[in-house]
Amino acid sequence: MSTATYTVKGMTCGHCVSSVKEEVTEVAGVTNVQVDLATGLLTVESDNPIDAAEIAAAVEAAGYEVADQS
């Protein structure tokens, strides 16, 4: 299992969290997504590592921006 954490900029409410979670969940290979509105942290779990660009694209599709990945 692989876990990656990203910081998402621009989320201000529960709807923002739902939008990000919905888009990232659709990325192939993602098994679990957690989004923390207070910290802006997006935690993505998958069976194998997923290209950060795919996650960033999903976040952008939801209308937000990935600030960094750890």
> Domain 2-69, CATH 1.10.3080.10 — does that match?
no
- pLDDT for residue 35: 98
Residue 4 has which token pair?
Answer: 């990656």
Q: Evaluate whether 40 touches 67 at the Cβ level (below 8 Å).
A: yes
pLDDT at 68: 79
Can you give the residue ranges of every domain in the chain? 2-69
CA-derived radius of gyration, the chain: 11
Q: What is the pTM of this model?
A: 0.93
Tens place of pLDDT for every residue, the chain, 70 residues? Answer: 899 999 999 999 999 999 999 999 999 999 999 999 999 999 999 999 999 999 999 999 999 999 977 6
> Phi, psi at residue 45, to the nearest 5°?
-110, 145
As a three-state string, the secondary structure of 9-43 is ECCCCHHHHHHHHHHHHCCCCEEEEEEECCCCEEE
Residues facing residue 51 across a β-bridge: none
